[in-house]
Amino acid sequence: MAKSDLVRIKYLIEDLWQWKKPVRIMEVCGSHTMVIGKYGIRSLLPPSIELISGPGCPVCVTPASFIDALLTLKNVTIATFGDLIRVPGINGTLEQARAAGLDVRIVYSPLEALKIASTRETVFAGIGFETTIPGIAHTLLEAQRLKLHNFSVLPAFKTIPPALKALLSTDNIAIDGFILPGHVSVITGSAAYQFLVDDFHTGGVIAGFEPITLLQTIKDIISQLKRGIPMIENAYKEVVSIQGNIPAQNIIRKVLQPEDAYWRGLGKIPASGLGIKEEFAQFNAIRKYDLQITETEMPSGCRCGDVLKGFIKPPQCPLFATTCHPAHPLGPCMVSSEGSCAAYYKYER
């Protein structure tokens, strides 16, 4: 890190320590959560500024019934991103099922699943936020073009703006500002968050992933609070525009449509998911295999839902670092590499 950056960090921290009024700022992105933990950003802030983690990890908010639905599939290959393989359903994990003989393969791109489907029946586990959804939608277009009838996607897509709206509409939620996600905003654009100001009088700043950037973002949110003028600011202009990635948005609209979705720990959020359109129904694993995705209970004692809402911090969960830890995760917030509990366990215990 350059000396000029260290000087800037010093002045940022000194300026933030002038703020005395209690304020709660939520970071929405799991990558931000990991950066905050890794670089000890909470320890640099005054007690008056509290950082809380939100539902910014797609693995963490995927309901257990999604995993259980995959576990019911027989004589098929299940292709999945690696961070899903250890997420617990009610009836176990994909990792455990693979050890018992289920054909589960980790892929780095949904297009890899198409190659697998050239030789056998394949289901791709379709999870993710706006960042990964366009690539999966493009894969469905490719499957249609190739007339690949032995390929399907089990959709559990989530979109961030409806989740933020649901959070701010929840009783007893106290959020004074948002550190808004960088990667998601590349697709959505900054205009997607204007409702935070218009409907909830709450501001936010889209941030990149350097520690100095996050400190500056926190200062920008505090400056909004000082002025009493909430707004949506973009501190990641090198990749995020006002309107976002229009071609990616068009691909999503061509293949997928808004629908209500279950978020683990948060319940059913209206129009927060994306389902596969009727013209692509042959590639919809829910239709093809008569599967159901429903709301399911958290493990007994697990408070992941309260962590995702910002009601508590991970160490306040009675299972944290006792019966629930990275080697034996009970809740999704501990499973994912970007989960709040995993970040606290690794960096802030």
The count of domains in the chain is 3
Instruction: Name the stretches of the chain with pLDDT < 50.
Output: none
- Going by C-alpha positions, the residue among 330, 334, 332, 329 that lies closest to residue 346 is 334
Sign of CA dihedral 173, 274, 247, 129: positive
Q: Are residues 171 and 181 in the same domain?
A: yes
pTM assigned to the model: 0.92
Residue 88 has a pLDDT of 84
Residue 232 has a pLDDT of 98
Residue 2 has a pLDDT of 65
Q: What is the tens place of the pLDDT at every residue in 120-171?
A: 999 999 999 999 999 999 999 999 999 999 999 999 999 999 999 999 998 8
Place of tokens 């995927």: 62
Residue 316 has a pLDDT of 94
Q: Are residues 49 and 72 in the same domain?
A: no
Residue 294 has a pLDDT of 84
Q: Are residues 216 and 78 in the same domain?
A: no
What's the rounded Cα separation, in Å, for the pair 160 and 272?
Answer: 7
Q: Are residues 133 and 255 in the same domain?
A: yes
Residue 152 has a pLDDT of 97
Boundaries of domain holding 86: 60-159+246-289
Using alpha carbons, list the distances in angstroms from residue 264 to 62, 67, 68, 243, 290. Answer: 6, 12, 13, 29, 21
Q: Are residues 285 and 142 in the same domain?
A: yes
Tokens of 70: 């995959």
